[in-house]
Amino acid sequence: MSYQNSNIAYKEKLRLGLFFLLTPLLSIITSFNRFHKSKFYSNLIWIFFTFLGSVFIYSDSSADSYRYAEWFQEFSNLDSYGKRGYFGSGLNLDYYRYFSFYFVSLFTSQPRIYFIFIALIYGFFYKSLLYNFFIRIKFDLAYRDVIAILSFLFILPFTGFIFVRFSTALLVFIFSLIKYFETKQIKYILLLILTYFIHFSFILPILAVFSYFLIPKGRYLLFLYLFSLLFSYFDFDTIRTFIENYIPKEIYDVKKGYLNDEYKESISVASEATNWYIQYRVDILKFSSALIIIIIYFRKGLKKLTNFELLNFSLYFGIIANIISIVPTGARFLGISITLIWYIIILNYINKGFPKFQISNIYSQILVPVYIFIIIVGFRYLFDIMPIDFFISNFILIFIEVSETPIINFIKGA
């Protein structure tokens, strides 16, 4: 009997594997309710990232991925001496960029292959975090639970690999932190420390983790977090002066470009060119999650939440992130606290871990519209960077031709 079951499982995996090669997107969708049953299904997600890396559009000159494609081609054309010099020419803090460039350039100079490699690394941690998320869900899902899960896929964006360094560091950091607070295994702290070598700026969240273990815990973290939500409206120049005076000179000299007026202006111009729903996405996530936490607090349910200690850290780092969001690039760190808080909210929402969940639908009244908004914004952004091939292509067709026309242009008839 066990042999028969094993044989059936093998045939099922073979069938799904062939289906995946022919229709990657559809096979991922149809396997949605099985991700928690076996790592085989979560590994399909990992392989799916190679497909994403194969089809996404990086020809937009304003995108980070376009610049990485140019830098990689420049690097690939250098001789061995030039490549060693490249590491020492202002990139001495960008270990991940240099070593990923170097490794892939041993085999090819094609940017597309480089992005497939980056997507594979990003995908490994994404599928690991997603598997960790799914195994903690009680799989008796209502429609609103499915909407919640889909929104999480966009809160923790599966297209984040296109930003290469920062998004990868953010994902590894979040995965490591969640696993540490759930298991207390020191190996996840060590993995967390490695994010510094992916993106230099993660020295800040790493230090925040260690400082968190030293501070007293209490409800004051919640009140300070709520107050810190207003910091993004404070004056930038005051913070810049503080940073210029107190951070180490070696670090400031390397990264001072992020603090000058020209860079501040470029961020402002880019923000104005961004669609309103993307601009306000972060604010909606911040303030709606704060409202849910306040409701839970007054219902005396915070300490009963799954991952309460992780929530404490999320609030603590949220205070830091909200303060430094005044600096043009500091807002990127909001992604850590926002993702962690929503990981906890969605997990408790699906598992009905909120206080008075059964006798009050106030949680759904607040959260379901937010979930839907996040999904809509996520798809709209996806339409900007993915071609129509994303829906109809497969692992065979990508070797023939990949369109450079984004889905949004197809929809608009351009």
- pTM, two decimals, is 0.86
Most confident of 82-96, 101-115, 323-337: 101-115
Band the pLDDT of 241: cuts 50, 70, 90: low
Provide the terminal-to-terminal Cα distance of the chain, rounded to the nearest Å.
58
Closest by alpha carbon to 74, among 58, 85, 62, 63? 85
Contact indicator for 385, 57 with CB cutoff of 8 Å? yes
> For the residues 316-327, what does the mean pLDDT come to?
87
The whole-number pLDDT of residue 231 equals: 76
The whole-number pLDDT of residue 93 equals: 65
> 189 vs 3, which has greater pLDDT?
189
- Say how far apart CA 54 and CA 113 lie, in whole Å: 8
- Say how far apart CA 306 and CA 20 lie, in whole Å: 34
Contact indicator for 328, 195 with CB cutoff of 8 Å? no
Residue for token digits 């009905």?
Answer: 352
| Percent of the chain at pLDDT exceeding 90 | 31
> For the residues 198-208, what does the mean pLDDT come to?
92
Closest by alpha carbon to 287, among 210, 369, 217? 369
Residue 44: CB atoms within 10 Å: 22
> 52 vs 260, which has greater pLDDT?
52
Assign residue 401 a region (left: φ > 0; alpha: ψ between -120 and 50; beta: otherwise).
beta
Residue 142 makes CB contacts below 8 A (sequence gap 6+) with none
- Say how far apart CA 102 and CA 83 lie, in whole Å: 8
Residue 168 makes CB contacts below 8 A (sequence gap 6+) with 96, 118, 121, 122, 125, 160, 161, 198, 199
- Please return the burial class of 393, using the count of CB atoms within 10 Å of its CB with bins 0-12, 13-18 and 19+: buried
Band the pLDDT of 381: cuts 50, 70, 90: confident
- Say how far apart CA 172 and CA 194 lie, in whole Å: 9
- Say how far apart CA 331 and CA 318 lie, in whole Å: 11
Q: In a 3-state reduction of DSSP, which class is residue 74?
A: helix
The whole-number pLDDT of residue 268 equals: 46
The whole-number pLDDT of residue 272 equals: 44
- Say how far apart CA 136 and CA 346 lie, in whole Å: 11
The pLDDT of residue 130 is above 80 = yes
